[in-house]
Structure 1
Amino acid sequence: MDSLMLASELAKRPVVTLDGEAVAEIKDTVFDGAAGQITGFTLNGRGLLAGPLKQSLPWSSVHALGRHAVMIPGREALAEPAAVVASGEAAHGAVPGAKVLTEEGVEAGSVLDVVVAPDGRVVGFRISATEAFVHREHGRNGVFVPRGEALAVSGRALVLPSGASHFVADDLPSFTTQVEIFAARAADTGPRGADAGTAAEGKEHL
């Protein structure tokens, strides 16, 4: 799996055309909660005195989400703000600060950040962790937990499936491995995942 990154790290990342022109920088990342995918970005201008732009960047217009820049084909990739912010699909996403619970009703902590892959998928979350959720050898200031079909947001609470605590990691490099293991496990238990999705009907899956 390619390098994972935190959504918070995308803020202020330059938006650069394939011709090398820096045309904007990322302000906020907007997510499609149902699909677990970046929908697009709101933008700021470049420079110390630049403020919010009256343009946005739809994910469909992104050429590459890189470690140091978001690449686009050209200025024509930018769109009206409504193309990202006001779209129905972009209305919801994982909210930092949302409470995290397990399916058994145990409080696990709260959302600190969202973990995304270079293809725009939401693959997990960085959460604060209670002792009731993780073993003491894990950092309570923040652990990473993978996204799955049974991970849902109901109101302001992120609900984790049974066994999620077995796939936590303390840093992004080790979390990459956990995401791969979690995905393989989910593929092997497809019917069970479908049942979990039915049980979570009415919730926004991330």
Structure 2
Amino acid sequence: MNELMAARSISTRPVVTLGGDAVAHVKDTVCDFDTSRITGFTLSGRGLLSGPLKEGLPWSAVWALGHDAVMIRDRRGLVSAAAMTAQQQTLRARVLGARVLTEAGDEVGTVLDVVVEGGTGGWVVGFRVAASRRFVPGRTRHRRRVYVPRGESLTVAGRSLVLPGAAVRHVADDLPGFTALVGGVPGPWKGSLP
């Protein structure tokens, strides 16, 4: 399985060609939650005061998503950012801050980040959630942050994510623990957790 990473940590990551040329920086991640895949990235310029670029990077042009950079073959894979985001929204616009509910309507918490598979995968595998007090009883001063797998089915309705009840019974306190939890489940959800 490829490395799991928080989607927000991908922001500002350099986009580099296989020849070593720096092309841009990642501004935001674009996802299709119906297929649970990263579909691309919006980009910003490389300089400190550079703004957003009119070009975007579709996932089909990504060679690999690594810990330190997004690798592409060359600049020819870049497309119009407006065309790329016409069907899908960026993570910031779509799910960050969204409510997380179970299919039964139980409140789980609020999305802080999306966990994606790096390398050549590009799968959305889970979420970092600020858990509600009902979901994590006994914590009164600070909300607990947990990692929740996406489950077999995922519905995005307005500003809410609806997860299967079975998925929210398996949470981890940190990303390494979450990686161990879903380590045997590459790509889209392939069954239930132990």
TM band (smaller chain):
0.7 to 0.9
5+ long unaligned stretches in structure 1: 190-206
Q: 4+ residue runs of structure 1 moved beyond 4 angstroms?
A: 91-94, 186-189
- In 2, Cα distance between equivalents of 1:79 and 1:151: 28
1:145 matched residue in structure 2: 148
TM-score (normalizing by structure 1): 0.81
Q: What value does the CA root-mean-square deviation take over the aligned residues?
A: 2.2
What is the DSSP-based 3-state SS (H/G/I as helix, E as strand, rest coil) of the residue aligned with 2:125?
Answer: strand
- Partners of 2:41 and 2:191 lie apart in 1 by 35
Indicate if the aligned counterparts of 2:108 and 2:135 stay in contact, CA closer than 8 A.
yes
Shift of 1:132: 2.0
CA distance in 2, matches of 1:27, 1:164: 30
Equivalent runs, 1:32-47 vs 2, <5 Å: 32-47=32-47
SS at match of 2:165: coil
* Residue 53 of structure 1, CA deviation: 1.0
Quote the residue 1:177 is aligned against. 180
Query: Structure 1 residues 149 and 123, CA, compared in 2 at 3 Å: closer, same or farther?
Result: same
Q: Distance in 1 between matches of 2:184 and 2:3?
A: 16
1:133 alignment counterpart:
135
In 2, Cα distance between equivalents of 1:182 and 1:62: 22
Alignment of 1:154-193 (within 5 A): 154-180=157-183, 187=190
Please list the CA deviations of residues 60-104 of structure 1 after superposition, one character each: whole Å capped at 9, or x if unmatched.
000000000000001112112134112x2x247651111111222
Aligned pairs for 1:32-181 within 5 A: 32-86=32-86, 88=87, 90-91=88-89, 94-118=94-118, 119-134=121-136, 140-180=143-183
Q: Whole-Å Cα distance in 2 between the matches of residues 80 and 6 of structure 1? A: 25
> How many residue pairs get matched?
184
Which structure dedicates a bigger proportion of its chain to strand? 2
Q: TM-score, normalised by structure 2?
A: 0.86
